[in-house]
């Protein structure tokens, strides 16, 4: 599963891991990605979305219909 949120567009960030001796090695900061299924009453079907934890909270606030409209506005197929 790719570490990419369909609603917010959050992707992994990159940086350095710094050891005790201050040597730097490359590392990756992955977002907290979950796969979640929602029922779309307007279309009479369910959709499975790949979302970050923040996006799940956003859907709880704005509703699934508005969230799917935002996802489609970004050009992502649902």
pLDDT at 2: 79
Low-confidence ranges of the chain (pLDDT < 50): none
Instruction: Name all contacts of 35-38 with Cβ < 8 Å and 24+ positions apart.
Output: 35/1, 38/64
Judge contact between 9 and 74, C-beta under 8 A. Answer: yes
CA angle, residues 77, 1, 13, in degrees to nearest 5: 95
List pLDDT tens digits, range 31-47.
999 999 999 999 999 99
pLDDT at 4 (0 to 100): 94
Which pLDDT score is estimated for 1? 56
């Amino acid at each position: 599963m790719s570490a990419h949120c369909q609603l917010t567009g959050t992707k992994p960030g990159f940086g350095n891991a710094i050891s005790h001796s201050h040597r730097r090695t490359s590392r990756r900061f992955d977002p907290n990605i979950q796969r979640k299924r929602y029922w779309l009453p307007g279309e009479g079907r369910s959709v499975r979305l790949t979302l970050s934890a923040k996006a799940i909270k956003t859907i709880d606030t704005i509703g699934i219909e508005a969230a799917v409209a935002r996802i489609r506005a970004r050009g992502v197929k649902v």
